[in-house]
């Protein structure tokens, strides 16, 4: 199989790393890729959102399968373009990708399917949104309706904080057109879990769960980020909860999307809150999470390429996914200034030493090569340092030992990834 992965971050590095081990693979490309991905795939200098050029490349190179990493190319119609050209694409059509492209659409689908979730209201005018916030009180959640690179959600502890979020999203447009509409939602209480299921349009196959750490600072303080680290499996997410989520959230959504004439194929990422009254939906994403993908790929024992093909071909009914029992953890190393304006161009050394730590794996997320060949930071989240271990504590110790082997004064990380599972 000749495979093209689309994207250039840590998630795509993890996907390429896993795909590279498939006995079905004959050639692997990644567009645009990064220096770490270049170690396992041939990088192609085409933007992840340049659908015409991606399709031209796929046709010229006789690509058998396109794997979409980020959400943007999916919402722009990458899967539709591939289907028109007769090329398999792992990922939903643009219409089905609206599950991530519009949070209001997700809520409408969830309500129609009877999926449990937060009470919500949609607003197109900031004054009305602020009035509703004052009437409801805090804590309360403010969400930009459109795509905001994982940063369009504010969990406001006070009314003033929520009103400020509305002003920034709708009036200052810090997320651009994504903030033309906002959702104001009930603040759900409990443990937040990321759960993933492979879908072939009809059948949903449970994958695994992870727990992400969104806030930038230790102890879950500071602004939200794209994710500062994750671990899998989270002890709070039992097999019984998995079965309940599949029955009450994932399968009903899949059925409702089919009823609407937009069947969902790809990976459905359900952001969940484990509340006192059961699991509830926070939001859907239509791709693997980042950094959750890194720990899922570290634990996956099955052939990833075979699984993606089964999802594309409607053949998940009898497919068996196998996972390592050993837990995995990933610690994100970010550039100074993140999640604001990151400092780019700082040199990174010591990755070879980090990779020598038993159980460790280094994933590149935002790196580049300088003209002299030195590796430098080229983004906000720059590295994902992952590791497995017999216990979560062992995985944590190995991950942080690898972090400490990295020589990068211009970077930082959280030092408490996994704290919920390891406290006490």
Q: Is a pLDDT exceeding 80 seen at residue 421?
A: yes
Confidence category of residue 211, pLDDT binned at 50, 70, 90? very high
What is the enclosing helix (H) or strand (E) of 306?
helix 304-312
pLDDT at 152: 84
CA 259 to centroid of chain Cα atoms: 26
Fold of 2-94: Rossmann fold (3.40.50)
What's the pLDDT at 424? 56
Residues making up the chain, counted from first to last: 424
pTM of the model: 0.95
How distant, in Å, are the alpha carbons of 232, 234, 323, 332, 397 from that of 326? 9, 12, 9, 20, 14
Alpha carbons 155 and 165: distance in angstroms, whole number: 9
The CATH architecture annotation of domain 328-422 reads Alpha-Beta Complex (3.90)
Split at pLDDT 50, 70, 90, the class of 203 is very high
Is the pLDDT confidence value at 249 over 60? yes
Kindly list the domain boundaries of the chain, sorted by start residue: 2-94, 125-180, 191-312, 328-422
Look up the CATH number of domain 191-312: 3.30.470.20
- Answer yes or no: are the C-beta atoms of 116 and 258 closer than 8 Å: no
Q: State the CATH class of domain 125-180.
A: alpha beta
Percent of the chain with pLDDT over 90: 95
Q: Tell me: the pLDDT tens digits for 24-66?
A: 999 999 999 999 999 999 999 999 999 999 999 999 999 999 9
In contact, 285 and 70? CB cutoff 8 Å? no
Residue in 174, 181, 210 with CA at minimum distance from that of residue 289: 210
Residues 6+ apart with CB under 8 A from 166: 126, 129, 130, 133, 142, 182
Give the pLDDT score at 224: 84
Digit-coded pLDDT (tens) for 326-347: 999 999 999 999 999 999 999 9
- Is pLDDT of 151 > 80? no
344, β-bridge pairs: none
Structure-derived torsion over alpha carbons of residues 350, 69, 222, 399, reported in degrees to the nearest 10 = -30
Q: Report the chain's mean pLDDT, rounded to a whole number.
A: 96
Question: In this predicted model, what pLDDT tens digit does every residue of 293-322 receive, in sequence order?
Answer: 999 999 999 999 999 999 999 999 989 999
pLDDT of residue 145: 93
Radius of gyration for the alpha carbons in the chain, expressed in angstroms and rounded? 20
């Amino acid at each position: 199989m000749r495979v093209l992965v689309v994207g250039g971050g840590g998630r795509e590095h993890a996907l390429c790393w896993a795909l590279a081990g498939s006995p079905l693979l004959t050639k692997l490309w990644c567009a645009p890729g990064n220096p770490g991905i270049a170690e396992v795939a041939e990088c192609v200098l085409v933007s992840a959102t340049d659908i015409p050029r991606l399709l031209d490349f796929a046709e010229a190179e006789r690509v058998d399968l396109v794997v979409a990493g980020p959400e943007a190319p999916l919402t722009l119609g990458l899967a539709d373009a591939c289907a028109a050209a007769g090329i398999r694409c792992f990922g939903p059509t643009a219409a089905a990708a609206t599950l991530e492209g519009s949070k209001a659409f997700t809520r409408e689908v969830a309500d129609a399917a009877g999926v449990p979730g937060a009470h919500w209201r949609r607003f197109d005018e900031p004054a009305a949104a602020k009035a509703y916030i004052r009437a409801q009180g805090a804590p309360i959640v403010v969400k930009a309706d459109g795509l905001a690179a994982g940063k369009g959600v504010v969990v406001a502890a006070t009314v003033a904080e929520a009103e400020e979020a509305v002003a920034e999203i709708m009036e200052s447009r810090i997320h651009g057109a994504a903030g033309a509409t906002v959702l104001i939602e009930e603040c759900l209480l409990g443990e937040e879990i990321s759960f993933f299921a492979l879908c072939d349009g009809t059948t949903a196959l449970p994958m695994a769960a992870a727990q992400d750490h969104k806030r930038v600072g230790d102890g879950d303080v500071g602004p939200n980020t794209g994710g500062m680290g994750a671990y899998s499996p989270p002890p709070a997410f039992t097999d019984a909860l998995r079965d309940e989520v599949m029955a009450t959230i994932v399968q009903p959504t899949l059925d409702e999307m089919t009823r609407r004439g937009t069947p969902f194929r790809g990976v459905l990422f359900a952001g969940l809150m484990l509340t006192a009254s059961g699991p509830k939906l926070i939001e859907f994403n239509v791709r693997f999470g980042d950094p959750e993908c890194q720990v899922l790929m570290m634990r996956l024992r099955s052939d990833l390429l075979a699984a993606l093909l089964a999802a594309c071909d409607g053949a998940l009914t009898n497919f068996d996914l196998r996972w390592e029992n050993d837990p995995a953890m990933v610690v994100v190393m970010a550039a100074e200034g993140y999640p604001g304006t990151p400092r780019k161009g700082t040199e990174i050394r010591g990755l070879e030493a980090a990779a020598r730590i038993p159980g460790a794996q280094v994933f590149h997320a935002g790196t580049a090569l300088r003209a002299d060949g030195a590796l430098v930071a080229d983004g906000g989240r720059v590295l994902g340092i992952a590791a497995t271990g017999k216990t979560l504590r062992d995985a944590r110790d190995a991950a942080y030992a690898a972090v400490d082997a990295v020589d990068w004064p211009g970077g930082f990380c959280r030092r408490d990834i996994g704290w919920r599972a390891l406290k006490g």
